[in-house]
Chains A and B, each alone.
Chain A
Amino acid sequence: MKKTMFLALILSAVFFCAATVLAAELPNKIVIGNPEALSGSQAKAGEQAVGGIKATIKWVNTVHGGVKVGGKKIPLDYKFYDCESKREAVTSLLERLITVDKVNFIMAPYSSSLTLAGAPVAEKYGILYMDHGGASDKIFTQGFRYIVQTIGPGTRYHTGTLDMLKKKDPAAKRLALAYKDDEFARSVMEGTEAHAKKLGYEIVFKRTYPPTVNDLTPLLSDMKASRPDIVLGGGHLADGQLLTQQMADLGIQTKALSILAAVTLPAFQNALKGKADGVMGPSHWEYGVTFSKEKALKAKQTWVGPSQDEFVKLFKEAIGMDLRPEYHAAEAAAAVLSLVLAVEKANSLDSDKVRAAMGDLKFTSFYGGWAIDKTGMQVGHDMIDAQWQNGKLVIVWPEAAATSALQYPKPAFK
């Protein structure tokens, strides 16, 4: 009798402790911290990311009803600082988010360099570090445990484009590569070159140009002389506009032209107007992609998040401007969604458990597929290829997501 009483006492004590521990583990909100780049060289992408994250959090808290952990629905909260696109600021602001603001998870700042800068601190505190804008493959060969990528690896940006062109016109073999000379664009160039060789393309021109460039004429004259059928290149925003403009200036007419990053932003067409027609670009996401809940459910995929139009509306509300979200925003949004799903799956806020749950997480959202490999590198997201046709950006590849047929060969510059 006494023994059972004692046992009951202990058991109830254990239950009580467990309950309090669980309650203590569950705060009244889950905070995502983000030392984002809001001024300096990466400000453009950083602004988009902040808008995307705010929009998604709003969706999670209102439509989704919060994140379900331990039987409770807990709302998300967001805390961001501006690291000025500077590496020194990333480490100290990141630590502040962890130790002072006690955030639960971190969104890395945009770009490979800034993402890498914060990685040692995130590893030290063992906090999940969501990479939404660091595309370098090399981040994932370093043995970091807490970095999880949502943006796809650089080497794959232009491989889909080549597959598409190969299918469309196997006779067009002369390929010219003109990429920006930075870590990201170079990794794209490497991946493209390897894939092109596999497909039997003849690389007639391969050059890079410095990141800050205001006149590409010498390089383009050189390229013109190599008479390419297809030109692939670019790197970021300003140089992509410049490349197109000056190819038009020099009258370099090719069957296809595909440029990284710049092309799929509305600013590209605003700046170049008619000259943009026929120019293509790979992208992680574009307004108009046809991922939807119905399609995903039909294909027996897990769907989460707002629909595309809901997201656009939430984004505009979040930043208070009539600005269209770009892929930088969508990437950040998908990273938040992956976090929500993984937390619910792990039923915990512990970074190690959530990271483990992410390992075999697979889902589809308005951004497309999401899955990572062992190292945390994104492998589930396929890139799309978009093309400007008569002033409108349409999706031409992959065929399943296409909203329009590819215009080929590319019309002459207007």
Chain B
Amino acid sequence: MILEQLAGNLFQGVVLGTVYGMATMGLSLIFGVLKVVNVGHGAFIMVGAFTSFAVFEYLGLSPVFAIPVAFGIGMALGMIFYYSSIRRLLKGPELASLLATFSFGVILEEGVKFLFTSDFRGFNWDLGKIDMGFTVLPYAKVAACLGSVIIAVLLYLWFNKTRAGMAMRSVVEDGVGARVCGVNVDWEYALSFSLGIGLTVASGVLLTMFVSVGINPYMGGEYTLKAFVVAVLGGLASPYGAFFGGLVFGLLENGSYTLFAQIPGLEPFAMTRFFSFLILLLILLLRPTGLLKAK
């Protein structure tokens, strides 16, 4: 009985984990290239969720079509925020960029509240579901999971097979060297910031494919905190690391529930949160480069 539940939870954890991974890649990309922690991360996810909602509700299209729209919106927001402020803060103290990204988040939250009110929205995208005996999986979740994997693979190909992608990687590895080789570092910064935001907003769409309800302007805070844990699991600076970090996190979160549920007197759900932050601290202490990379 318990084993069956554990298996079900772990399976669900993998599916959820890919979406978490996808939702963190943007954060890691921005940190990897610019060394800026995007504290407003969750608000960008929220923008994606609203994009998905609007495309489904007002245009009557499947959320799949919202992915490119969201990506485009994210790229545009990224460019605007980069050239208006992030660019000038790169040399300043860490504090400044933390506060700037936090403020972006607030602007987005309040802006979306102004447009859509603070109502809780959702949509019903039902594709049926598959019963696997130990757990039940709706096809919409399968789509979210596949979508995440596809985007992760595309990003990998872009980084490794295209000129633009390789130029960006060169900036991560050696900024001065890249400049010497004729790479326009400022433009690469702008591009990676907006690419990171684009990915984050797009991941908001995937999240609504996973869970299509509860969409509201203040939904992002929780995702910011989770993304931090996931990013650290993956080594903070690596988008692929983040993707695998997401998988591990999904497994930990869902798997530990079954374990904590065996202990009387505890609230297992809150304990899974405690557990994931505990893991975060352990990783930071023992393996700050993340689970994948050796030191």
Chain A interfacial positions (CB closer than 8 Å to B): 39-41, 43-44, 47, 181, 207-210, 212-215, 217-219, 221-222, 225, 237-239, 241-242, 244-246, 249-251, 262, 265, 267, 270-275, 321, 323, 414
Contact, CB under 8 Å: A238 / B120: yes
Output the nearest chain B residue to A46 by Cβ-Cβ distance: B118
Output the nearest chain B residue to A215 by Cβ-Cβ distance: B16
Cβ 8 A contact of B122, one of A39, A43, A271, A274: A271
User: Min CB distance, B259 to chain A, in Å?
Assistant: 11
User: Min CB distance, B137 to chain A, in Å?
Assistant: 8
12 A-B pairs besides A208-B270, A218-B269 with CB distance below 8 A are A43-B118, A43-B218, A213-B269, A214-B207, A217-B12, A241-B120, A262-B120, A267-B119, A271-B121, A271-B212, A272-B213, A414-B126
- Distance between Cα atoms of A276 and B174 in the complex (Å): 55
Output the nearest chain A residue to B271 by Cβ-Cβ distance: A210
Contact, CB under 8 Å: A212 / B122: no
Interface size of B as a range = 35 or more
- In the complex, chain A residues whose CB is within 8 Å of the CB of B120: 44, 237-238, 241, 262, 265, 267, 271
- Distance between Cα atoms of A222 and B272 in the complex (Å): 14
Output the nearest chain A residue to B257 by Cβ-Cβ distance: A218
Contact, CB under 8 Å: B1 / A225: yes
In the complex, whether B288 has a CB less than 8 A from a CB of chain A is no
Contact, CB under 8 Å: B269 / A41: no
B266-288 to A contact mask, C-beta < 8 Å, 1/0: 01111011000000000000000
User: Min CB distance, A195 to chain B, in Å?
Assistant: 22
- Distance between Cα atoms of A43 and B212 in the complex (Å): 22
Contact, CB under 8 Å: B214 / A242: yes
Chain B interfacial positions (CB closer than 8 Å to A): 1, 5, 8-9, 12, 16, 110, 113, 117-124, 126, 129, 131, 135-136, 138, 141, 207, 210-216, 218-219, 221-223, 253-254, 257-258, 261, 267-270, 272-273
Cβ 8 A contact of B213, one of A212, A225, A242, A414: A242
Contact, CB under 8 Å: B269 / A242: no
Interface centre among A41, A249, A321 (most CB of B within 10 A): A249
- In the complex, chain A residues whose CB is within 8 Å of the CB of B253: 218
Using A47-B118, A251-B131 as known contacts, say yes or no to A275 and B124 having CB atoms under 8 A apart.
yes
Contact, CB under 8 Å: A41 / B218: yes
5 inter-chain pairs at a CB distance below 8 angstroms, sorted by A residue, are A207-B261, A237-B120, A245-B211, A249-B136, A250-B136
User: Min CB distance, B207 to chain A, in Å?
Assistant: 8
Cβ 8 A contact of A222, one of B5, B124, B129, B270: B5
Contact, CB under 8 Å: B213 / A208: no
Contact, CB under 8 Å: B269 / A271: no
- Distance between Cα atoms of A209 and B287 in the complex (Å): 31
- In the complex, chain A residues whose CB is within 8 Å of the CB of B222: 212-214
- In the complex, chain B residues whose CB is within 8 Å of the CB of A239: 214
Contact, CB under 8 Å: B257 / A219: yes
Interface centre among A208, A212, A265 (most CB of B within 10 A): A212
User: Min CB distance, B222 to chain A, in Å?
Assistant: 4
Contact, CB under 8 Å: B12 / A218: yes
- In the complex, chain B residues whose CB is within 8 Å of the CB of A244: 213
- In the complex, chain B residues whose CB is within 8 Å of the CB of A241: 120, 122, 213-214
Output the nearest chain B residue to A414 by Cβ-Cβ distance: B126
User: Min CB distance, B131 to chain A, in Å?
Assistant: 7
Contact, CB under 8 Å: A214 / B135: no
Using A47-B117, A214-B211, A221-B8 as known contacts, say yes or no to A181 and B269 having CB atoms under 8 A apart.
yes
- Distance between Cα atoms of A218 and B252 in the complex (Å): 12
Cβ 8 A contact of A39, one of B16, B110, B269: B110
User: Min CB distance, A262 to chain B, in Å?
Assistant: 7
- In the complex, chain B residues whose CB is within 8 Å of the CB of A321: 117
Contact, CB under 8 Å: B122 / A210: no
- Distance between Cα atoms of A323 and B117 in the complex (Å): 11
Using A207-B267, A249-B138 as known contacts, say yes or no to A217 and B213 having CB atoms under 8 A apart.
no
Contact, CB under 8 Å: A222 / B110: no
Contact, CB under 8 Å: A251 / B136: yes
Interface centre among A43, A237, A272, A323 (most CB of B within 10 A): A43
Using A239-B214, A249-B138, A249-B141 as known contacts, say yes or no to A272 and B124 having CB atoms under 8 A apart.
yes
- In the complex, chain B residues whose CB is within 8 Å of the CB of A214: 207, 211, 214, 219, 222-223
- Distance between Cα atoms of A246 and B254 in the complex (Å): 15
Interface centre among B219, B253, B268 (most CB of A within 10 A): B268
- Distance between Cα atoms of A414 and B129 in the complex (Å): 12
- Distance between Cα atoms of A219 and B269 in the complex (Å): 7
Contact, CB under 8 Å: B124 / A221: no
Contact, CB under 8 Å: A242 / B131: no
Interface centre among A47, A219, A267, A275 (most CB of B within 10 A): A267
User: Min CB distance, A190 to chain B, in Å?
Assistant: 14
User: Min CB distance, A66 to chain B, in Å?
Assistant: 32
Contact, CB under 8 Å: B269 / A207: yes
Output the nearest chain A residue to B255 by Cβ-Cβ distance: A218
- In the complex, chain B residues whose CB is within 8 Å of the CB of A218: 9, 12, 253-254, 257-258, 268-269, 272
Contact, CB under 8 Å: A242 / B211: yes
- Distance between Cα atoms of A273 and B8 in the complex (Å): 27
User: Min CB distance, B258 to chain A, in Å?
Assistant: 7
- Distance between Cα atoms of A244 and B273 in the complex (Å): 22
- Distance between Cα atoms of A218 and B256 in the complex (Å): 9
Output the nearest chain A residue to B221 by Cβ-Cβ distance: A212
Using A207-B269, A217-B9 as known contacts, say yes or no to A238 and B129 having CB atoms under 8 A apart.
no
- In the complex, chain B residues whose CB is within 8 Å of the CB of A225: 1, 5
User: Min CB distance, A89 to chain B, in Å?
Assistant: 16
- Distance between Cα atoms of A221 and B10 in the complex (Å): 11
Contact, CB under 8 Å: A215 / B211: yes
Contact, CB under 8 Å: B135 / A272: no
User: Min CB distance, A82 to chain B, in Å?
Assistant: 12
What are the 6 A-B residue pairs with the smallest beta carbon separation, nearest first?
Answer: A271-B122, A238-B214, A218-B257, A241-B213, A212-B222, A273-B124
- Distance between Cα atoms of A218 and B259 in the complex (Å): 11
